[in-house]
């Protein structure tokens, strides 16, 4: 360490002795913490730079796009047209995940994007979104993103990086996530590179059919037409690139008007399994055999299956097969058999053959040619790397050093290439093994052209100048191919112009502007043929081996961090997994019977061995998990990641080989010593006693009312004849006629002349995906509190999704039910009465409002809320002491108020950021209500028309995000509104109302199920 009194250090002001001494350690520290300022060592300069970037984005965002592709900075001397300071602007753009463009509409305030919604124009978003998409906003503002190019880990510059990459020798091998030609800058650019694709959680079944001997086609599933669906190890509602569209279509067929039936055959309990009418737990290796048996059973009934399939005979056929086959056969063209990507090509081929034989092709499933660019697999790359054939390797947006199949040993292979370049959002594991690293621009910062699931072209436009000076994938390839002067904007224009044939000159300009405005260009790609005629069925079927013993290891992509790329996203890490409710961790999910045999319980550690490697993971005992199956979600245990994702969970990639990407057989699970506490938001261990479990099981029946659809329809018919008196009760007569009584109440009822807001949540449609939770978090500036606080029971999400198991834990057919729980906005709100300072009160439109300024934090309202939907700020939560970003920074108090400018930018300016000691809760997105009211009032005054807010004009963040349209928000005083209709549709019920007379404004629509032989099986709980 240099001497502290060395004058040449020349620092008059210093922050620490290390700073004063300017030691290499300190330089390394600063470089790590604040890349790019290592030579300035002065925070104010950085701030100025930051302001410059902001000013630039502000200035440029107002024009036709959001950012003109000009490089100079112009002050806003005059207010651009259509630009009102403080008013949000909305721009269509596209967010891509593993080659699938999801249409988005982004809300931007003053050039600052703050919220992502699905684009209604986009056929695979339909205005809805998923949790990952919502959380992209937080990733974009992540201060841990890579900020500057590095050479061998040391700070470098863009000039040096460009020089090195453009001067690369030989053909450049490019490894990236699967994507279309357009996203990579067009076919011309790709001519001079070798393209390899890798995505660990690739939900595309594109390759399944190709590998079975067919064409590389992508099945497009149409659940709107499907009456009977059999999902074989397919999580089409959860981990599927088109899950949003699937959820919408599937939900459209779930209601009293029409009800499809879903069979799920799977080992790992998936979101789709949780929504099935019949779920059968099978080992993953048995699934394809079951499918072959199904084909056989269908053939026997007369389905025109290929001859090779008819002869298939397997082991003893399970009892349910006949029932399912019968159901599918009778559904005919409305049947649909779906197979998940983890299954072997044979399974995909059989499913395609069944769908064709039943006449479903064209009806419930259609095919398009795969819209992805032609890239080779990562195994091919590994082979070439090992052979020393790759001189220059460029990795874009992919993290193979962490997530590549273990047997390929890619981290070592990369080092064999002479020159390696990594372009990524983060300086991650792969950046560590590459010679060069440069920041990638985030989807919201760039111009790009992608393709949607159905092959449509989508345009991505920047909402802000790249915060970390990143480049796009196409720009990176341009540098590598020597066309570096091309900017992302120009590339996007060129590739869209040629791909969509937009013409030239003015015609092009008009078409381009329209494409940018809409975010989407044209209709889907033309249908393609599966071409399975030449399939060798005998060989395919012969390859299926059903394992009977030993453990099978399933690698589901995580519902939150996906394949690990969202590991540094606090919203997602803190989101409870829809099925296990685990936060900040992954776990080894095993069945209760296996747990009993292994003598392990929740939080005990087990050692899992597979393919010559082993890991140790905490156990979560998952009812409904197939026996002999252990699932460990991908994406955890990252080593080079920001502080949020550091040390979270277990990395399962070392057990995953290129031949067992979906699941691995022959795994060995043994008990290990010690334990690791899994933190869940429900079913806390310590409170879990026999008395409580028995009571909970009994209580759930009345909290989450469900009934088979046949019984419901029969009951409804009866009720219509019996009573019509209920109609008058504003409370809906929800408790089923007979026991209807008027409860006495102490205080006068509120009356509403204007609006009377209400929300209906359809438990039949809700599939538990949790997009609403993240949407709410993004909209309402809800803080992340960290694992320690969640463990204490202090999670802050305003909206939670309660998950209940139905049936005995060891039953094979244990079912899962979901119940989203926002604030009920009770008419007789228990919270309002007990607040001593009147900080929570009823407003004139029925909302139970929270006055943050007035709240002193007695928490009496929280105690008295029977739904426990209130959330208290135990600390300065926006950078609470247990937030991972505060770990190891110092004493708890010192870091409470440290929130970087970047982190602050992600906040919604329309919503107060709550301070310490204040209660908060769901507001029904009151800021959206008031925004719409102000607009409507202005409109009425300006045009002299009547003040009116049409139904659907206002929607809450949760309802807007919901892919299944399970949440409906509206005005009860408007008798034409959807919510009014739902309240009076015979299915609405209020939670706990008959006990407490709380009169909630949020009501549930009974969960309907459609079991095959379940009509009238048991009486509905409340009829």
Partner 1 sequence: MASIVGEVDNTMQDPRRRAPLVTGQHDAASITRSVASIAEIPVDQTPLGWYVGFGISATITAILGFAVFWLLFNGVGVWGVNNPAGWGFAIINFVFWVGIGHAGTLISAILFLFRQHWRTAINRFAEAMTIFAVICAGLFPGIHIGRVWLAFYLFPIPNQMAMWPNFRSPLLWDVFAVGTYFTVSLLFWYVGLIPDLATLRDRATNKWRKLIYGALAMGWTGSMRHWHRYERAYLILAALATPLVLSVHSVVSFDFAIAQLPGWHTTIFPPYFVAGAIFSGFGMVVTLAVPARQWCGLKHIITLRHLENMNKVILATGSMVGYAYAMEFFIAWYSGNSYEQFAFINRAMGPYAWAYWTMVSCNVISPQLFWFKAIRTSVPAMFIVSIFVNIGMWFERFVIVITSLTQDFLPSSWDYYTPTAFDWLTLLGSFGLFFTLFLLFCRFLPMVAIAEVKAIMPGAHGAHGHGHGDEHAEHAPAMEAAR
Residue 602 engages partner 1 in binding (rule: CB under 8 A): no
Residue 890 engages partner 1 in binding (rule: CB under 8 A): no
Which of 160, 603, 609, 802 is close enough to bind partner 1 by CB under 8 A?
802
Q: How far is the CB of 925 from partner 1 (least distance, A)?
A: 22
Angle at 74 between CA 69 and CA 75, to 5 degrees: 140
Q: How far is the CB of 364 from partner 1 (least distance, A)?
A: 36
Taking the least distance from each CB to partner 1, the nearer of 802 and 843 is 802
Taking the least distance from each CB to partner 1, the nearer of 277 and 789 is 789
Per-residue exposure over 550-559, b if at least 16 CB sit within 10 Å of its own CB, e if not = ebbbbbbbbb
Which of 5, 307, 319, 691 is close enough to bind partner 1 by CB under 8 A?
691
CA distances from 141 to 53, 60, 539 (A): 13, 19, 51
- Determine the Cα–Cα distance for residues 260 and 224; give it in Å rounded to an integer: 9
Antiparallel, parallel or unpaired: β 448-451 and 457-460: antiparallel
- Determine the Cα–Cα distance for residues 420 and 486; give it in Å rounded to an integer: 22
- Determine the Cα–Cα distance for residues 774 and 801; give it in Å rounded to an integer: 11
- Determine the Cα–Cα distance for residues 105 and 461; give it in Å rounded to an integer: 11
Residues numbered 825 to 864 that lie near partner 1 (CB under 8 A) are: 830, 833-838, 854-860, 862-864
User: How far from each other are the two terminal CA atoms of the chain, in whole angstroms?
Assistant: 80
Taking the least distance from each CB to partner 1, the nearer of 405 and 881 is 881
Question: Where does residue 688 fall: left (phi above 0), alpha (psi -120 to 50 degrees), or beta otherwise?
Answer: beta
How many CA atoms within 13 Å lie on the side-chain side of 410? 30
Residues numbered 700 to 739 that lie near partner 1 (CB under 8 A) are: 700, 703
Q: How far is the CB of 1000 from partner 1 (least distance, A)?
A: 13
Which of 6, 313, 509, 695 is close enough to bind partner 1 by CB under 8 A?
695
Q: How far is the CB of 33 from partner 1 (least distance, A)?
A: 25
Residue 684 engages partner 1 in binding (rule: CB under 8 A): yes
Residue 793 engages partner 1 in binding (rule: CB under 8 A): yes
Q: How far is the CB of 739 from partner 1 (least distance, A)?
A: 14
241 within 8 A of 203, measured Cβ to Cβ: yes
Give the interface segment with partner 1, choosing from 173-181, 609-617, 663-671, 788-796 (CB under 8 A): 788-796
Enumerate the β-bridge partners of residue 264: 231, 279
Residue 141 engages partner 1 in binding (rule: CB under 8 A): no
Give the interface segment with partner 1, choosing from 101-109, 348-356, 440-448, 865-873 (CB under 8 A): 865-873
Q: How far is the CB of 991 from partner 1 (least distance, A)?
A: 8
Give the interface segment with partner 1, choosing from 437-445, 465-473, 645-653, 677-685 (CB under 8 A): 677-685
Taking the least distance from each CB to partner 1, the nearer of 45 and 682 is 682
Ranges of beta strands (E only) in 377-456 are 392-396, 419-424, 436-439, 448-451
Residue 894 engages partner 1 in binding (rule: CB under 8 A): no
Q: How far is the CB of 331 from partner 1 (least distance, A)?
A: 36
Q: Which two tokens stand for residue 667?
A: 């795994």
Q: How far is the CB of 928 from partner 1 (least distance, A)?
A: 26
Rg (CA), the chain: 29
- Determine the Cα–Cα distance for residues 770 and 498; give it in Å rounded to an integer: 39
Taking the least distance from each CB to partner 1, the nearer of 548 and 792 is 792
Q: How far is the CB of 841 from partner 1 (least distance, A)?
A: 8
Residues numbered 347 to 406 that lie near partner 1 (CB under 8 A) are: none
Residue 286 engages partner 1 in binding (rule: CB under 8 A): no
Per-residue exposure over 357-392, b if at least 16 CB sit within 10 Å of its own CB, e if not = bbbbbebbbbbbbbbbbebbebbebbebbeeeebeb
Taking the least distance from each CB to partner 1, the nearer of 390 and 790 is 790
Taking the least distance from each CB to partner 1, the nearer of 41 and 992 is 992
Instruction: Using CA atoms of 551, 554, 559, 565 in order, give the dihedral in degrees to the nearest 10.
Output: 120
CA distances from 926 to 131, 266, 669, 779, 922 (A): 22, 42, 51, 11, 9
Taking the least distance from each CB to partner 1, the nearer of 29 and 860 is 860
Q: How far is the CB of 389 from partner 1 (least distance, A)?
A: 57
Which of 144, 249, 594, 795 is close enough to bind partner 1 by CB under 8 A?
795
Taking the least distance from each CB to partner 1, the nearer of 5 and 686 is 686
Taking the least distance from each CB to partner 1, the nearer of 28 and 837 is 837
Residue 743 engages partner 1 in binding (rule: CB under 8 A): no
Taking the least distance from each CB to partner 1, the nearer of 917 and 1011 is 917
Tokens 């067009």 found at? 186
Give the interface segment with partner 1, choosing from 248-256, 486-494, 770-778, 870-878 (CB under 8 A): 870-878
Taking the least distance from each CB to partner 1, the nearer of 43 and 893 is 893
Residue 745 engages partner 1 in binding (rule: CB under 8 A): no
The 142-161 contact track toward partner 1, x by CB under 8 A, reads: --------------------
Q: Which two tokens stand for residue 361?
A: 């092709």
- Determine the Cα–Cα distance for residues 380 and 382; give it in Å rounded to an integer: 5
Enumerate the β-bridge partners of residue 758: 970
Taking the least distance from each CB to partner 1, the nearer of 550 and 809 is 809
Residue 319 engages partner 1 in binding (rule: CB under 8 A): no
Size of site (CB under 8 A) for partner 1:
66
Give the interface segment with partner 1, choosing from 8-16, 497-505, 665-673, 689-697 (CB under 8 A): 689-697
Q: How far is the CB of 696 from partner 1 (least distance, A)?
A: 4
Which of 551, 571, 872, 983 is close enough to bind partner 1 by CB under 8 A?
872
- Determine the Cα–Cα distance for residues 367 and 365; give it in Å rounded to an integer: 7
Residue 880 engages partner 1 in binding (rule: CB under 8 A): yes
DSSP code of 527? B
Rounded to 5 degrees, what are φ and ψ at 55? -60, -40
923 within 8 A of 860, measured Cβ to Cβ: no
Residue 898 engages partner 1 in binding (rule: CB under 8 A): no
Taking the least distance from each CB to partner 1, the nearer of 201 and 796 is 796
Burial of 158 by CB count in 10 Å (0-12 exposed, 13-18 middle, 19+ buried)?
middle
Taking the least distance from each CB to partner 1, the nearer of 507 and 894 is 894
Residue 692 engages partner 1 in binding (rule: CB under 8 A): yes
Residues numbered 947 to 1006 that lie near partner 1 (CB under 8 A) are: 991-992, 995-996
- Determine the Cα–Cα distance for residues 715 and 701; give it in Å rounded to an integer: 18
- Determine the Cα–Cα distance for residues 664 and 274; give it in Å rounded to an integer: 23
Of 672, 666, 658, nearest in space to 618 by CA: 672
Ranges of beta strands (E only) in 840-888 are 840-842, 848-850, 871-872
User: Cβ–Cβ contacts within 10 Å for residue 951, how many?
Assistant: 17
Residues numbered 919 to 938 that lie near partner 1 (CB under 8 A) are: 919
Alpha carbon 675 to chain centroid, angstroms? 29
Q: 3-class SS at 667?
A: strand
Q: 3-class SS at 627?
A: coil
Which of 42, 893, 938, 948 is close enough to bind partner 1 by CB under 8 A?
893
- Determine the Cα–Cα distance for residues 734 and 1003; give it in Å rounded to an integer: 10
Q: Which residues bind partner 1 (CB under 8 A)?
A: 682, 684-692, 695-696, 698-700, 703, 789, 792-795, 800, 802-804, 819, 821, 830, 833-838, 854-860, 862-864, 866-868, 871-876, 880-881, 892-893, 896, 916-919, 991-992, 995-996
């Amino acid at each position: 360490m240099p001497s502290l009194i060395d004058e040449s250090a020349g620092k008059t002001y210093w922050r620490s002795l290390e700073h004063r001494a300017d030691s290499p350690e300190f330089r390394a520290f600063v470089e790590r913490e604040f890349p790019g300022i290592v030579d300035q060592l002065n925070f104010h300069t950085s701030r100025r730079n930051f302001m410059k970037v902001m000013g630039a984005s502000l200035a440029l965002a107002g024009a036709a796009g959001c950012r003109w592709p000009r490089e100079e900075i112009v002050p806003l001397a005059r207010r651009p047209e259509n630009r009102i300071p403080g008013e949000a602007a909305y721009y269509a753009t596209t967010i891509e995940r593993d080659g699938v463009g999801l249409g988005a509409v982004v809300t931007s305030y003053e050039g600052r994007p703050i919220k992502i919604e699905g684009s209604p124009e986009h056929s695979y978003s339909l205005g809805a979104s998923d949790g990952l998409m919502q959380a992209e906003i937080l990733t974009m503002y992540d201060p841990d993103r890579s900020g500057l190019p590095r050479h061998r880990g040391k700070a470098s510059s863009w000039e040096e990086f460009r020089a090195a990459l453009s001067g690369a020798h030989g053909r450049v091998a490019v490894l990236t996530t699967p994507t279309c030609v357009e996203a990579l800058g067009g076919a011309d650019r790709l001519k001079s590179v070798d393209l390899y694709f890798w995505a660990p959680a690739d939900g595309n079944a594109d390759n399944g059919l190709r590998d079975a001997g067919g064409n590389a086609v992508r099945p497009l599933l149409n659940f709107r037409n499907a009456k009977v669906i059999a999902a074989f190890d397919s999580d089409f509602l959860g981990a599927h690139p088109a899950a949003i569209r699937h959820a919408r279509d599937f939900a459209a067929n779930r209601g009293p008007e029409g009800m499809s039936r879903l069979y799920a055959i799977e080992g790992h309990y998936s979101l789709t399994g949780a929504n099935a009418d019949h779920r059968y737990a099978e080992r993953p290796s048995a699934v394809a055999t079951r499918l072959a048996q199904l084909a056989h059973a269908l053939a026997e009934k007369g389905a025109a299956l290929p001859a090779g399939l008819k002869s298939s005979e397997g082991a003893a056929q399970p009892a349910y097969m006949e029932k399912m086959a019968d159901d599918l056969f009778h559904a005919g063209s409305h049947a649909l058999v779906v197979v998940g990507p983890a299954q072997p090509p044979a399974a995909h081929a059989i499913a395609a053959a069944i769908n064709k034989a039943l006449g479903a092709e064209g009806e419930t499933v259609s095919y398009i040619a795969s819209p992805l660019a032609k890239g080779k697999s990562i195994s091919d790359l590994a082979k070439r790397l090992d052979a020393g054939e790759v001189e220059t390797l460029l990795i874009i947006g992919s993290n193979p050093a962490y997530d590549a199949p273990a047997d390929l040993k890619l981290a070592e292979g990369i080092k064999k290439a002479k020159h390696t370049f990594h372009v990524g959002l983060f300086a991650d594991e792969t950046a560590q093994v590459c010679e060069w690293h440069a920041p990638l621009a985030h989807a919201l910062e760039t111009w790009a052209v992608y393709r949607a699931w159905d092959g449509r072209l989508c345009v991505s436009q920047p909402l802000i100048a790249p915060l970390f000076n990143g480049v796009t994938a196409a720009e990176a390839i341009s540098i590598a191919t020597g066309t570096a002067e091309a900017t992302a904007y120009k590339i996007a224009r060129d590739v869209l112009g040629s791909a969509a044939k937009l013409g030239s000159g003015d015609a092009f300009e008009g078409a381009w502007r329209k494409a940018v405005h809409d975010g989407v260009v044209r209709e889907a790609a033309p249908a393609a043929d599966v071409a399975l005629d030449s399939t060798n069925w005998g060989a395919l079927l012969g390859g299926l081996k059903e394992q009977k013993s030993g453990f099978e290891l399933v690698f589901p992509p995580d519902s939150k961090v996906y394949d690990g790329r969202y590991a540094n996203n606090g919203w997602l890490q803190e989101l409870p997994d829809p099925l296990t409710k685990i936060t900040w961790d992954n776990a080894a999910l095993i069945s209760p019977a296996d747990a009993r045999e292994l003598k392990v319980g929740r939080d005990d550690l087990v050692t899992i061995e597979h393919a010559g490697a082993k890991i140790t993971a905490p156990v979560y005992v998952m009812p409904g998990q197939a026996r002999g199956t252990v699932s460990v979600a991908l994406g955890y245990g990252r080593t080079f990641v920001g502080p949020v994702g550091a040390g979270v969970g277990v990395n399962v990639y070392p057990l995953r080989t290129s031949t067992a990407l979906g699941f691995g057989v022959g795994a060995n699970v043994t008990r290990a010593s010690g334990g690791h506490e899994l933190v869940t938001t429900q079913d806390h261990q310590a409170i879990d006693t026999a008395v409580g479990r028995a009571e909970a099981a009994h209580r759930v029946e009345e909290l989450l009312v469900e009934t088979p659809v046949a019984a419901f329809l029969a009951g409804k018919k009866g009720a219509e004849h019996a009573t019509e008196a209920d109609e008058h009760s504003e409370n809906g007569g929800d408790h089923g006629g007979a026991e209807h009584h008027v409860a006495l109440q102490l205080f006068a009822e509120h009356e509403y002349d204007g609006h009377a807001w209400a929300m209906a949540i359809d438990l039949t449609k809700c599939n538990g995906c949790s997009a609403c939770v993240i949407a709410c978090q993004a909209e309402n500036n809800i803080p992340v509190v960290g694992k320690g606080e969640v463990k204490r029971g202090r999670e802050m999400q305003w909206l939670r999704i309660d998950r209940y198991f139905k049936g005995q834990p060891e039953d094979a057919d244990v079912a899962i039910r979901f119940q989203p729980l926002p604030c009920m906005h009770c008419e007789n709100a228990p919270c309002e009465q007990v607040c001593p300072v009147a900080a929570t009160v009823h407003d004139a439109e029925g909302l139970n409002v929270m006055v943050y300024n007035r709240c002193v934090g007695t928490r009496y309202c929280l105690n008295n809320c029977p739904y426990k939907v209130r959330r208290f700020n135990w600390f300065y939560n926006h950078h609470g002491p247990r937030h991972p970003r505060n770990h190891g920074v110092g004493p708890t108090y010192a870091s409470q108020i440290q929130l970087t400018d970047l982190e602050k930018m992600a906040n919604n300016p329309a919503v107060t950021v709550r301070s310490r000691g204040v209660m908060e809760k769901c507001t029904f997105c009151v800021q959206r209500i008031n925004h719409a009211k102000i607009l409507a009032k202005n409109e009425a005054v300006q045009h002299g028309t009547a003040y009116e807010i049409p139904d659907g004009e206002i929607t809450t963040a949760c309802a807007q995000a919901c892919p299944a349209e399970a949440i409906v928000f509206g005005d009860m005083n408007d008798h034409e509104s959807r919510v009014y209709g739902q309240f009076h549709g015979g299915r609405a019920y209020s939670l706990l109302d008959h006990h407490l007379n709380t009169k909630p404004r949020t009501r549930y629509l009974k969960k309907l199920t459609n079991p095959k032989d379940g009509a009238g099986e048991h009486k509905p709980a409340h009829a």
